[in-house]
A and B are shown apart, each in its own frame.
Chain A
Amino acid sequence: MKIRIQAEDLSFHYTDEEDNAISPEILKDLSLTLEAGSFVAVLGANGCGKSTFAKHMNGILIPTGGKMLIGEMDTADERYAYDIRQHVGMVFQNPDNQIVATIVEEDVAFGSENLGVPPEEIRQRVDDALKAVDMYAYRMHAPSQLSGGQKQRVAIAGIIAMRPSCIVLDEPTAMLDPKGRQEIMKTIRMLNQEYGITIVLITHYMEEAVQADRVIVMGDGNVLLDDVPEEVFSHVEEMKQAGLDVPQVTELVYELQKSGVQLDSRIITEEACTKALLELFA
């Protein structure tokens, strides 16, 4: 199912039982539309509200102002809570803290079991999901026997088995080694391209953000930049002001431009950069 995610003037602060604000505004009139089937990367310095925004997308947090719409469903409407969570799956940073069961396939089944899917269909979904993330051979292993990247792929499989239309990944690679990071990125791209699942990837790694169709830079509870990666990363000064880096290639191009070399500032991949540099020297 194709579902569009829409935030309308979203604002949020934490409240106590009497609805008094106990935190400053974390999100400030944030408006965004995420098209079905897109691959969006969300960047931002620590404390800019990107994780808070992510938790709004599946109704774990309810906005204190404005609206969050998942298709036609409002996250503030409790009747939709479980439909929304089925449509928008979430993967967190620490793979250890999101695996529930002692056997890989049992854990992948957990979400579908909660949804009340018939047993035979759960079996089918679990096998499909494990094959999709290339973990089928490990289905009878204990989570503690797996590497970080493998555990994170099991966590992703658990979400896929719920047949979501969108997956929000909150820094899924932050605790992984380079090899695990590559495995996860490969899985994410495949899910987006072959299954048409909308991907929202929150990350600190610019090299990962470059792979998205759209990059949103957040700062102080709102959107600072929102465009294709080439455009976003060409704003080197603004990125640095937001406390962020740009990909190494972009940094190189930027420094070369500053010292007077004529180069296209929309270069973000190594191949494009090599090509441009070779043309310069030719």
Chain B
Amino acid sequence: MLKDITIGQFFPGDSAVHKMDARFKLCMTLLFIVMLFMGKHLYSLIFGIVFCVLALVLSKIPFRLIWKSIRVLLPILAVTAVLDIFLIDGGDTVFKWHFIEITSDGVKTALLMVIRILVLLAGTSLLTYTTSPIALTDAIERLLNPLKKIHVPVHAFAMMMTIALRFIPTLLEETDKIMTAQKARGASFSEGNLLQRARSLVPILVPLFVSAFRRAEELATAMECRCYRGDVGRTKMRQLKAAGRDYAAMAVTLILFGTALVVKIIF
């Protein structure tokens, strides 16, 4: 059951998007997000959509997968859209019945918001779908490298992220085991009211935390045995090298971004 949870899921492949330098992908994703939220006009959304569709096609990730990540958020999206439609006033009145009034501005805002979020989800999930967690952590570490000058522990954060990702499956497996063990002793996790259910989690969390701390202690010793001393004198096996395709993709993104900016200024 718990094994179905996938955080930052990665689907290996060798499309152009998969092969791209993770640093570029990360920067482009950030530009993409800014691009989406920049304009208040429908026109300015077009550039974000173009970017998203281009990336999707190039990545060869089946649309079904993207849909899976979007589907979960549809109910929330629907509720916010309805609230937007009814609560935002302005522009022409489209529909009026007693105190309920729907205005053109309300409809517009709702529509914009829904498209924005859908495109945002599709575009950003593409980043984790096409980039291995380790490449992503690596990219973050290198992009934030300048911050080391002002004593931000960039390497330590990247290391923590790697270890956290590494132990997600291990701890999920352990949780499953503990739950089975507690069930065998008559514990029930699906009965009673909310408070009772929350309380029934305590016998799972306590052993889980104890074991996590024990693991941390052992892992620390093992890391020390392998000469770990932070990033002092450390090299990396995987070298990130930007290729022609990265610069080309970045150029396209920047053009889209620039045009979106111009459109925002004009309208």
- CB contact under 8 A between A103 and B134, given known A98-B218, A113-B235, A116-B235: yes
Is the C-beta of A252 less than 8 angstroms from some C-beta in chain B?
no
B231 to chain A, nearest CB (A): 9
B208 to chain A, nearest CB (A): 14
Contact B235 A98 (CB under 8 A): no
Identify which of residues 150-181 in chain B touch chain A, using a CB-to-CB cut-off of 8 Å: 162-163, 165-166, 169-170, 173
B interface, by DSSP: helix, strand, loop or mixed? helix
Cα of A200 to Cα of B91 in the assembled complex, Å: 81
Cα of A140 to Cα of B219 in the assembled complex, Å: 22
Is the C-beta of A101 less than 8 angstroms from some C-beta in chain B?
yes
B191 CB contacts on chain A under 8 angstroms:
none
Cα of A282 to Cα of B200 in the assembled complex, Å: 69
Is the C-beta of A111 less than 8 angstroms from some C-beta in chain B?
yes
In the complex formed, the residue of A with least CB distance to B137 is A102
Is the C-beta of B221 less than 8 angstroms from some C-beta in chain A?
yes
B170 to chain A, nearest CB (A): 5
Cα of A97 to Cα of B216 in the assembled complex, Å: 8
* Contact for A100 among B12, B166, B229, CB less than 8 A: B166
Contact A100 B163 (CB under 8 A): yes
B170 CB contacts on chain A under 8 angstroms:
96, 144
B148 CB contacts on chain A under 8 angstroms:
none
Cα of A116 to Cα of B222 in the assembled complex, Å: 18
Contact B225 A90 (CB under 8 A): yes
Cα of A92 to Cα of B217 in the assembled complex, Å: 12
Is the C-beta of A1 less than 8 angstroms from some C-beta in chain B?
no
A100 to chain B, nearest CB (A): 6
Contact A159 B226 (CB under 8 A): yes
- CB contact under 8 A between A102 and B222, given known A114-B227, A116-B233, A122-B235: no
Is the C-beta of B133 less than 8 angstroms from some C-beta in chain A?
yes
Cα of A140 to Cα of B132 in the assembled complex, Å: 11
Contact A119 B233 (CB under 8 A): no
Cα of A159 to Cα of B223 in the assembled complex, Å: 11
Contact A89 B235 (CB under 8 A): no
Please give the number of chain B residues whose Cβ is less than 8 angstroms from any Cβ of chain A in the complex.
30
Cα of A105 to Cα of B218 in the assembled complex, Å: 21
* Contact for A119 among B134, B224, B225, B237, CB less than 8 A: B237
Q: Which of A96, A105, A114, A140 has the most CB of B within 10 A?
A: A114
A95 to chain B, nearest CB (A): 10
Contact A85 B219 (CB under 8 A): no
Contact B227 A111 (CB under 8 A): yes
A156 to chain B, nearest CB (A): 12
A109 CB contacts on chain B under 8 angstroms:
237-238
Cα of A114 to Cα of B133 in the assembled complex, Å: 20
B134 CB contacts on chain A under 8 angstroms:
101-103, 106
Contact B237 A123 (CB under 8 A): yes
Is the C-beta of A118 less than 8 angstroms from some C-beta in chain B?
yes
B241 to chain A, nearest CB (A): 11
Cα of A105 to Cα of B238 in the assembled complex, Å: 10
Contact B221 A92 (CB under 8 A): yes
In the complex formed, the residue of B with least CB distance to A97 is B218
A227 to chain B, nearest CB (A): 29
Is the C-beta of A126 less than 8 angstroms from some C-beta in chain B?
yes
Contact B221 A99 (CB under 8 A): no
- CB contact under 8 A between A85 and B221, given known A123-B237, A144-B169, A144-B170: no
* Contact for A102 among B165, B228, B237, CB less than 8 A: B165
Known contacts A101-B134, A113-B235; 13 further A-B pairs (Cβ under 8 A): A85-B225, A90-B225, A92-B221, A94-B218, A97-B215, A100-B162, A110-B223, A116-B233, A119-B236, A119-B237, A123-B237, A142-B169, A159-B226
